[in-house]
Chain A
Amino acid sequence: EPEVTQTPSHQVTQMGQEVILRCVPISNHLYFYWYRQILGQKVEFLVSFYNNEISEKSEIFDDQFSVERPDGSNFTLKIRSTKLEDSAMYFCASSIAGASYEQYFGPGTRLTVT
């Protein structure tokens, strides 16, 4: 069964450093998403991406965040200058289409900012 994959599973970085989290969505899916989950809190929407552009973003997704689909398979989330409060689990998700379709989540990348 096709699934969303994410790398790395755990990333440790120092405050102020740039990190790139990688995702490979399900191959025939067209919509891609990033969510995050701070330890013990609910899953929060960050951004959705379709047709090589952001279709929606939350108030969390400020100028330090960016997303990209650099090739036909990868979808990345870049955090330019990490802060302690960026420490969280970051989940990538994909769906075959937009509003009416199920979103499938990857296993997540645990980001620890020290």
Chain B
Amino acid sequence: GENVEQHPSTLSVQEGDSAVIKCTYSDSASNYFPWYKQELGKGPQLIIDIRSNVGEKKDQRIAVTLNKTAKHFSLHITETQPEDSAVYFCAARSPGSSGSRLTFGEGTQLTVNP
């Protein structure tokens, strides 16, 4: 089955700096890659996603890039703010019996220092 690895596990940046989180996946058939933000005591919140027919997607300060050949994708947050502090999870979806299972990475604890 699919395996997703994520790094770094913790990331500390100064407010205004950029943050980059990277994930690799194992199943070359995976075709959908969402990113979730999880604040303490809350459920994962979808912040951006990318499909395998696209190499990059941007939404304001957040962007995601996908390299299908290398099987890795990255989350880029620019001009970080203290409210960006949270755990970020990447995930991948591979066509399976229903094609709906998400496989998650281990998570990255992002801390933005004021």
Contact = CB atoms under 8 A, between A and B. Distances in A.
B97 interface: yes
Given A42-B106, A43-B104, A45-B103, A55 B44 contact: no
A106 B42 CA distance: 8
Nearest to B97: A56
Given A33-B100, A55-B100, A98-B100, A103 B89 contact: no
B99 interface: yes
Interface residues of A, number: 27
A18 interface: no
B102 interface: yes
Contacts, number: 65
B104 A99 contact: no
A58 interface: yes
Interface in B60-93: 89, 91, 93
B104 A44 contact: yes
Contacts of B105: 42
Q: Which of B42, B44, B103, B107: most chain A Cβ within 10 A?
A: B44
A65 interface: no
B36 interface: yes
Interface of B: 32, 34, 36, 41-46, 49, 89, 91, 93, 95-107
24 contacts: A4-B43, A42-B106, A42-B107, A43-B91, A44-B104, A45-B102, A48-B98, A55-B98, A56-B98, A91-B43, A91-B44, A98-B98, A98-B99, A99-B32, A99-B98, A99-B99, A100-B32, A105-B44, A106-B43, A107-B41, A107-B42, A107-B43, A108-B42, A108-B43
